[in-house]
Amino acid sequence: MIGFLVVDKEAGWTSHDVVARCRRILGERRIGHAGTLDPGATGVLVVGVGRATRLLRYLVGVDKDYLGEVVLGSTTDTLDDAGEVQERFDMSGVTLDQVRAGAAGLSGEIDQMVPMVSAVKVGGERLHKLARAGTEVERPVRRVRVERFEVGEGAEPGTFTLDVRCSSGTYVRVLAADLGSALGGGAHLRRLRRTRVGSFEVTEAKTLGQLEEAFAGGDGSALRPPLDALGHLERVEVSEAIALDVGHGRPVERGSIAVSGAGPFALVDAAGELLAVYEVDGDEGDERAKATVVIRPA
């Protein structure tokens, strides 16, 4: 069994919980996920199955879309509604135009500090474990890209809807908190929903219950082929002779596969099936392309 599941994660589940449940549903141990979602968040979690888990590295850098709400007037220790309120502010006079101006200032290439409640390691310890112990440490600042940060009126006073498209590694919780600070007070995030990871859309996602019912009934159509995760890579069709070398994981001359740049490249056969992912080793004079992941061994 090999491919990808597009899971619509429900609130209350950790990403690890989803992986464990998928292992039971499919009876497959080799399962992993791309892009952790907070337990309170919902939406797209891409799960790799079998050898496709080795392709998850190529989903690390893809853009993601989110919907959510920012609540003005209070900050929390987790930057979302799962945490304890730390400070309160009177922000009743803030207008939609002001919020949109604040969001514009947080768009494009920006620096973002990793939150304390996160899985990032500092000094060998996960930040969320240090946070639970009441320890605060200096955290890394990352350069991220916010391609879209649109806001609208929320259903309640002091709340505004968010529609965000951002680079991998962006914390929408931090965007909401920084927006509150930019407006002269504080804010936190709630109802975060991820609607896209690369080419995987929430419209095609299935809940764990739906997946369990489908696979129990012999319907494996939710398992997407490995190539579906690599739409952002250059795709190269290779001859039968080269496909045999690729199946053995042997290096191939870059000229023989007619590619430009160093890759990575998705090598496919005449039927369009993914064989492997290759990259050029620029340190070698002959510029041979080498296998990084072989999906269909000879």
Q: Of 47, 55, 43, 39, which Cα lies nearest the Cα of 19?
A: 47
C-alpha 186/C-alpha 66 separation (Å) is 21
- Find tokens 């879309």 and name the residue: 65
What pLDDT score does 280 carry? Answer: 85
**Which tokens go with 213?**
């019912």
- Find tokens 């220790």 and name the residue: 77
What pLDDT score does 19 carry? Answer: 97
**Helix, strand or coil for residue 78?**
coil
Compute the CA torsion angle 115, 193, 41, 118 (nearest 10 deg): -20
What pLDDT score does 114 carry? Answer: 76
What pLDDT score does 151 carry? Answer: 97
Which residues in 12-29 are b (16+ Cβ under 10 Å) and which e? ebebeebbebbeebbeee
Q: Of 124, 134, 118, 93, which Cα lies nearest the Cα of 177?
A: 118
Average pLDDT, consecutive stretches of 10 residues, N- to C-terminus, the chain (298 residues): 96 95 96 90 96 92 95 94 94 97 96 70 59 62 93 95 95 95 96 96 97 96 94 90 91 81 88 92 68 88
C-alpha 207/C-alpha 57 separation (Å) is 24
Q: Of 216, 203, 202, 271, which Cα lies nearest the Cα of 24?
A: 216
C-alpha 263/C-alpha 26 separation (Å) is 33
Q: Cα-flanking dihedrals φ and ψ of residue 218, to 5°?
A: 85, 10
State the DSSP H helix or E strand holding residue 153, giving kind and residue range, or none if neither: strand 141-153
Catalytic residues, which ones? Answer: 38
Q: Which domains does the chain have, with CATH numbers?
A: 3-61+200-227 (3.30.2350.10), 64-197 (3.30.2350.10), 233-294 (2.30.130.10)
C-alpha 103/C-alpha 86 separation (Å) is 23
Read off the amino acid at residue 235: R
Cβ neighbour number for residue 9 with a 10 Å cutoff: 25
What pLDDT score does 43 carry? Answer: 97
Burial class (CB in 10 A: 0-12, 13-18, 19+), 93: exposed
